[in-house]
Chain A
Amino acid sequence: MPDMTPIKNPMPLLDMALRQTSFNEVAQGYDEETARREARRCLRCKNKPCVAGCPVQVAIPEFISAIACGNDAEAYDIIRETNALPAICGRVCPQEMQCERRCVRGIKGEPVAIGRLERYAADTAILSDGDAAPDALKQSEAQPRTSSEEPQVASCKAATAHIETGKKTVKAAVIGSGPAGLSGAGTLARLGFDVAIFEALHEPGGVLTYGIPEFRLPKALVKREIDSLRSLGVRIETNTVVGKSITIDDLREDGYAAFLIGTGAGLPSFLRIPGESLNGVYTANEFLTRINLMKAYMFPDADTPIRVGKKTAVFGGGNVAMDAARCALRMGADVSLVYRRGRDEMPARAEEIEHAQEEGVRFELLTNPIEFLADDSGTVRAARCVRMELGTPDASGRRKPRAIEGSEFELACDTAVIAIGNSPNPVFVKSVPELARTAWGGIDADPQTGKTNLPGVYAAGDAVTGAATVILAMGAGRRAAQEIVLEYNNSL
């Protein structure tokens, strides 16, 4: 009989004093007993609505059932069949918008804590498996379980056999080592391709490394996932800006036949208000890159500095805004988060919003900045803001905020962080003018297959969709990799 407790087993959290001062991981993860208890809340519905809500169709009831029965390793293997990075997804997926939103238990009470259980399975496997993990992973994708519902995966199995028995190994170049690239590279390597990932920065991981902070996604975990790709034979060439250091044509000359572009959405959007170039006004990308990639929170032990003032204002309502606000808080600032809509409209994961608020980030909702004001040295001293109200729903269905006349006020801040979104980074695409792009600068690729207008060139993730989520990028990377396998299977 399922456990009919109406609420999720709570996630144990780091001590609040540490949360406010250190970059240690906040969510501590379920222990074994809690995980078993939570797993028993699953009703094992026949029609599996949760699976339909998952961008990579993880066999959710099956893996939860394995946990309930005490088979954690099996649970992990089940997840790995369709999800290359479960330890990461368990932490950063917006489950409340995806699998958990469809969970039948959510109708009367809270859904099953699917994300927390996914993380539990992954963390347990990592702890217990050690070096054996990569070999087990090699098997999982080559011999998929869910053949009945996923003809593409079944075809991949045939492709594997072909490529592995043939003499010729296809060389595939993956451009960008973020979620789309890592997931695509893993799929290609497991299916017998000779894979190299080209990364512009000095560390691989893309947004997992430069964007998402340590307290939400420990970098050791990212490193571990990347090492497991290396053990599959994937080469990672850092410091290589494709389009600058090397071109697609160079790579073709070097024998690369297939290309998977996962260059992400790394071009920061600006508010386009006066004062945005004042000192102390950061884009979230700069703020988070200094902290996460360059470890500026350890300055001067790390060489890269950051200046976080006494009062920091973060503008935006997504995960990036929450990350920036919580970083600033840990560096000793009094933090306001300014968002033009209401709390219910915030696009961030529910858990991040809760954590930010618990830690002491003050929310200035229905508020919009109109100008940054400077002190004598040209550093920001305040943001002039206006209060907003929600009007009629716009095309996206969200109620459009509009300014309330006469409501202007000054919000004092000596550091401001703009976290209102990113669009695809143009550096790579500019180097390939013949690659078709969308009107807004994304790569024009088939949303199902990732196929672009150029032969052998596929694209996936935020570079195609614009800024979205880790799991969507991973799903797209994997699908594109499977298409590459099909293409080269047919043409060999």
Chain B
Amino acid sequence: MVANALYKIINKRPLHSTVTWMELSAPRAARRAKPGQFVILRVDSAGERLPLTIAGADPVRGTVTVIYQKVGATTNKLDMLDVGDALADVAGPLGEPSKLEGIGSAALIAGGLGIAIAYPIAKALKAQGSRVDGIVGFRNTDLIILKNEFESFCDTFDILTDDGSNGRKGFVTDGLSARLESGKTYDEVIAIGPLPMMKAVCALTKKYNIKTTVSMNSIMIDGTGMCGCCRLTVGGETKFACVDGPDFDGHLVDFDEAIRRGRYYREQEQESMARLCRLTGEARACRI
């Protein structure tokens, strides 16, 4: 199948050297999208199905926005396209929307690219009048994205970097820990980011017995509950991230299993990337 005119790239801008914000024409997904849901896209007819969280949706323009990091062959191929080009496929919205009703106060924790997923949630929480303490972490100051946008929806906002090059030095858990130690409580902690980060946040909030929701970005194929590739163990039960999630009770998630399953295709991912580098001669992309 050739690239589908339905799924045109309307806007595209780099947020930093490896992260890109992209607005895509996808009228159906745009009309129904809610915070926490994702789309699955294919760049071209040989492409894999790539799930990306919907960072924003405009039903009038018929567009959804996604934010991706160039980590593998597919995201690099995606990034080679420009405004006016079209993707082969965009399907969605998929997954269950985040359940935000009834949250009076929340700590919204985002690590790295997780801020792209946390951003629409911050917006929705603010819109329903919840109190939001935002705590975001990045490896260093060069990798910071969406800071101002995210901060505008937060009542308080903390930024931490691993190396102290921006905000406080430390991890998001340090930021959260400081608040909890000072006696702060929340109806819910929402943690979105790399698996080890979410695992660490859950270990911390468990001690304080605060409900904690995490967003699981497992490897997926169909995204409609058919293949079971994205399965994870939650409270001893098998769940599918694509249809039961992506949000789960973080205190029940088996993170070690999720981390292990997430690594299973690492060699193949590198092989794909190496092949793409050979084909495009793009040295920049070959940093693997």
Mark A residues whose CB is within 8 Å of B: 200-203, 210, 238-241, 244-246, 266-268, 270, 276-277, 279-280, 282-283, 285-286, 289-290, 293-295, 299-305, 307, 377-379, 425-427
Closest 4 CB pairs of A and B: A305-B268, A286-B227, A239-B91, A303-B48
Number of B residues, CB within 8 Å of A = 43
Of the candidates B238, B243, B269, which one forms a contact with A270 in the assembled complex, judged by CB atoms under 8 Å apart?
A: B238
CB pair B229–A294 under 8 Å, yes or no, is no
State the B residues within 8 Å of A (CB). Answer: 1, 28-29, 32, 42, 46-49, 73-74, 77, 88-94, 221-222, 224-229, 231-233, 238, 243, 257, 260-261, 263-265, 268-269, 271-272, 275
Enumerate chain B residues within 8 angstroms of A202, measured Cβ to Cβ. Answer: 1, 42, 49, 88-89, 91
Instruction: Report whether A300 and B271 are in contact in the complex, using a CB–CB cutoff of 8 Å.
Output: yes
Q: Which of B1, B29, B49 contacts A304 (CB 8 A)?
A: B49
* Least CB separation from A286: chain B residue: B227
Q: A41 to B191, alpha carbons, bound, how many Å? A: 70
Q: Cβ of A426 and Cβ of B272 under 8 Å apart?
A: no
Asked whether, in the complex, the Cβ of B224 is within 8 Å of the Cβ of A300, the reply is no
Specify which of A200, A277, A279, A286 is in contact with B221 (CB 8 Å cutoff): A286
Q: What is the chain B residue whose CB lies nearest that of A269?
A: B228
Whether the pair B232, A277 counts as a contact (CB closer than 8 A) is: yes
Q: Are A285 and B233 in contact (CB under 8 A)?
A: no
**A294–B89 Cα gap in the complex (Å)?**
13
Verify B227–A200 contact, CB threshold 8 A. no
In the bound complex, do residue B226 and residue A244 qualify as a contact, i.e. CB atoms below 8 Å apart? no
Task: Check A294 against B224 for contact (C-beta < 8 Å).
Answer: no
Beyond A239-B89, A244-B93, A426-B225, whether A305 also contacts B265 by CB under 8 A is: yes
Q: How far is the CA of A7 from the CA of B42 in the complex (A)?
A: 50
A427-B238 in contact (CB<8A): no
Residues of B within 8 A of A427 (CB): 224-225, 243
Question: Of residues B89, B222, B226, which shows the largest number of chain A Cβ atoms within 10 Å of its Cβ?
Answer: B226
On whether A303 and B73 interact (CB within 8 A), knowing A279-B261, A289-B227, the answer reads: yes
Q: Is the CB of B225 within 8 A of A240?
A: no
A201 x B46 contact (CB < 8 A): no
- Give Cα distance in the complex from A99 to B88, angstroms: 42
Look across to chain B and name the residue whose beta carbon is closest to the beta carbon of A272.
B238
* Cβ-defined contact, A285 with B226, below 8 A: yes
Which residues of chain B come closer than 8 Å to A379, judged between CB atoms? 264
Q: B43 to chain A: closest CB distance in Å?
A: 8
The reply to whether A304 and B221 contact each other, CB–CB distance below 8 Å, is yes
Residues of A with C-beta under 8 A to B89: 202, 238-239
The CA of A282 and the CA of B32, in the complex, are separated in Å by 32
Is the CB–CB distance between A245 and B231 below 8 Å? no
Closest Cβ–Cβ distance, residue A273 to chain B (whole Å): 12
The interface residues of chain B lying within 8 Å CB-to-CB of A241 are 91-92, 94, 224
Residues from chain B with Cβ under 8 Å of A200 in the complex: 91, 222, 224
Interfacial chain B residues near A286, Cβ < 8 Å: 221, 227-229
Nearest-Cβ distance from residue A107 to partner chain B, whole angstroms: 43
CA of A377 to CA of B263 in the docked complex: distance in angstroms? 10
Known contacts A202-B89, A266-B225, A277-B238; A240 and B232 CB within 8 A of each other: no
By beta carbon, the residue of chain A nearest B263 is A279
Q: Which residues from chain B contact A240 at a C-beta distance below 8 Å?
A: 28, 91
Q: Which of A238, A246, A283 contacts B228 (CB 8 A)?
A: A283
B residues within 8 A CB of A270?
228, 238
Q: How far is the CA of A387 from the CA of B89 in the complex (A)?
A: 47
Residues of B within 8 A of A239 (CB): 28, 89-91
**Nearest-CB distance from B128 to chain A (Å)?**
23
Report the Cα distance A282→B227, complex, angstroms: 9
Identity of the chain A residue whose Cβ is nearest the Cβ of B43 in the assembled complex: A303
**CA of A245 to CA of B232 in the docked complex: distance in angstroms?**
25
B263 — which chain A residues lie within 8 A by C-beta? Answer: 279
Smallest CB gap from B227: residue in A? A286
Q: Do the beta carbons of A302 and B91 come within 8 Å of each other? A: no
Give CA–CA (A302, B264) in the complex, Å.
18
User: Shortest distance in angstroms between A23's beta carbon and chain B's nearest beta carbon?
Assistant: 16
Docked pose: A413 CA to B269 CA in angstroms: 23
Query: Would you mind naming 5 contact pairs between A and B with Cβ atoms under 8 Å apart?
Result: A241-B92, A270-B238, A282-B229, A289-B221, A300-B268
Assembled-state Cα–Cα distance A425/B28 (Å): 21
> Once the chains bind, are A304 and B48 in contact (CB under 8 Å)?
yes
Determine which of B32, B226, B233 lies in contact with A425 in the assembled complex, contact meaning CB atoms within 8 Å: B226
A303-B225 in contact given A239-B90, A244-B93, A279-B260 (Cβ < 8 Å)? no
Cβ contact of B257, chosen from A277, A283, A295, cutoff 8 A: A277
Q: In the complex the two chains form, is B49's CB within 8 Å of A267's CB?
A: no
CA A239 to CA B263, docked complex, whole Å: 28
